[in-house]
Amino acid sequence: MDPLPHELPADTVRRVASELRCLPTDERVALRLDEEDKLRHFREYFHIPKMQDLPPIDLSLVNKDENAVYLLGNSLGLQPKTVKTYLEEELDKWAKMGAYGHEIGKRPWITGDETIAGLMTDIVGANEKEIVLMNALTVNLHLLLLSFFKPTPKRYKILLEAKAFPSDHYAIESQLQLHGLNIEKSMRIVKPREGEETLRTEDILEVIEKEGDSIAVILFSGMHYYTGQHFNMPAITKAGQAKGCFVGFDLAHAVGNVELHLHDWGVDFACWCSYKYLNSGAGGLAGAFVHEKHAHTIKPALLGWFGHELSTRFKMDNKLQLIPGANGFRISNPPMLLVCSLQASLEIFKKATMKALRRKSVLLTGYLEFLLKHYYGKDKAETKTPVVNIITPSRVEERGCQLTLTFSVPIKSVYQELEKRGVVCDKREPNGIRVAPVPLYNSFHDVYRFINLLNSALEAAERKDNGV
Ligand SMILES: Cc1ncc(COP(=O)(O)O)c(C=O)c1O
């Protein structure tokens, strides 16, 4: 169901309900939205976990053969069915020809990462030469900071958002320490206003305007892992660069979730993991971006033989011919098995396209928001219903598919009861439950089922917490 031009998701839901002559909360609305979803067949490309296989499931509460309600693609994406085939192809090649596999087959191992980099261009909005697939996310963040963070007595700070993901926080702390800098003075953290959960763009821009002359690098996440806030990346980039800062992003929660245009926005550098929305499996091959404007000026600080031009790499003469740009940052030979799983997923993205996925995502998450507000919104507080608060921004431009929920009742039991009923989502400190309907494999009916299961989980949690 495509929204009409400029139609808000809630209006689409109401319009469909009125066409069906039913309430917007009726199951038929979810089924109609699925029927009209042009991307619905992509769900078939993935293994959807079954209720019976989930460790915390209570089989007395569910139909064991039913699909789980998997809403955790923001943490670990589901497995594309072709992963196994691709892995088997490489395992077979290895078994049959050993080292000859380096140069032969669909994915010669020496250039395996390069064979799939082209599949990433539309996802991050970059040229192939600006993208490199290597290592894991935090490792890449370190490698990029080693090159982009060159503090001087006047310009020595790194600017980041409050409650950044711990790994980013530690990476920044340790980079500052490497330069002998005082962490308190050099780690400039932008916090939300008193009583607010998310950051206002104007507040971020104000800090950049006021303190930009002393900031060497701005390192923000594209999408905050906890609140689900999608930061205004082009505005931050423009403001930072106007003040002479390098601007980089951790795209762990943005890549494959929202449309990105790293090249056109002029972002200096970025890095991301691939096991969340990009479905490459735990510990999958990560990515990094270095804008082409830096190809000949910003060099890797740490070198390895895979940063050397392929044409002369195997001359073994120890005379480095560094590949300009992102690919020069490679240190080691690519992990072939990780290339397979990432390729399987990226091929699906190529077919679906980020544009179409994002369009569906806006409606899918909008439908979830609509139902949550309908049953558990603040205005229902007079009734005895528990209130579910959505801390993720309500403006579509400021969020991706994830909504972070806080509850007027203790969440521990609510979360346990959801798990028992086959809802796969997660609980994050201090008090949020993150729910992410992923447009590639989640359906509108998944969202409908989630709301019903949430209802029964809340009732069961209340009984448990009251000792009934
Ligand atoms: C925002 C963010 N940064 C960094 C990481 C750490 O990633 P890795 O363990 O792949 O280095 C994660 C992992 O979930 C993350 O969400």
Q: Per-domain residue ranges for the chain?
A: 9-67+353-466, 84-351
Which pLDDT value is given to residue 3?
56
135 is in an annotated binding site: no
Which pLDDT value is given to residue 378?
80
What is the best residue among 160, 167, 251, 277 to mutate for testing ligand 1's pocket, by most ligand atoms within 8 Å of CB? Answer: 167
Instruction: Quote the percentage of the chain above a pLDDT of 70.
Output: 98
Say whether pLDDT at 384 is over 80: no
221 is in an annotated binding site: yes
Atom of ligand 1 nearest to the CA of 283: 10
Tell me the CATH number for domain 84-351. Answer: 3.40.640.10
Task: For ligand 1, say whether the CB of 168 is within 6 Å of any of its atoms.
Answer: yes
What is the best residue among 74, 75, 138, 257 to mutate for testing ligand 1's pocket, by most ligand atoms within 8 Å of CB? Answer: 138
Atom of ligand 1 nearest to the CA of 276: 14
Expressed in angstroms and rounded, the spacing between residue 251 Cα and the centre of ligand 1 is 9
pLDDT, tens digit, for every residue of 259-312?
A: 999 999 999 999 999 999 999 999 999 999 999 999 999 999 999 999 999 999
Task: For ligand 1, say whether the CB of 272 is within 6 Å of any of its atoms.
Answer: no
Q: Which of 3-12, 27-36, 38-47 has the lowest mean pLDDT?
A: 3-12
Task: For ligand 1, say whether the CB of 361 is within 6 Å of any of its atoms.
Answer: no
Task: For ligand 1, say whether the CB of 461 is within 6 Å of any of its atoms.
Answer: no
Which pLDDT value is given to residue 5?
58
What is the best residue among 135, 142, 165 to mutate for testing ligand 1's pocket, by most ligand atoms within 8 Å of CB? Answer: 165
Which pLDDT value is given to residue 379?
75
Residue range 78-83: mean pLDDT, rounded: 98
Task: For ligand 1, say whether the CB of 149 is within 6 Å of any of its atoms.
Answer: no
Which residue, by CA, sits nearest to atom 10 of ligand 1?
Answer: 137
Predicted model pTM: 0.96
**Which residues pair with residue 389 across a beta bridge?**
406
Which residue, by CA, sits nearest to atom 4 of ligand 1?
Answer: 167
Which pLDDT value is given to residue 466?
81
Is the CB of residue 270 less than 8 Å from the CB of residue 251? yes
Task: For ligand 1, say whether the CB of 138 is within 6 Å of any of its atoms.
Answer: yes
Expressed in angstroms and rounded, the spacing between residue 282 Cα and the centre of ligand 1 is 11
| Superfamily of the domain at 9-67+353-466 | Aspartate Aminotransferase, domain 1 (3.90.1150.10)
- Average per-residue pLDDT for the chain: 96
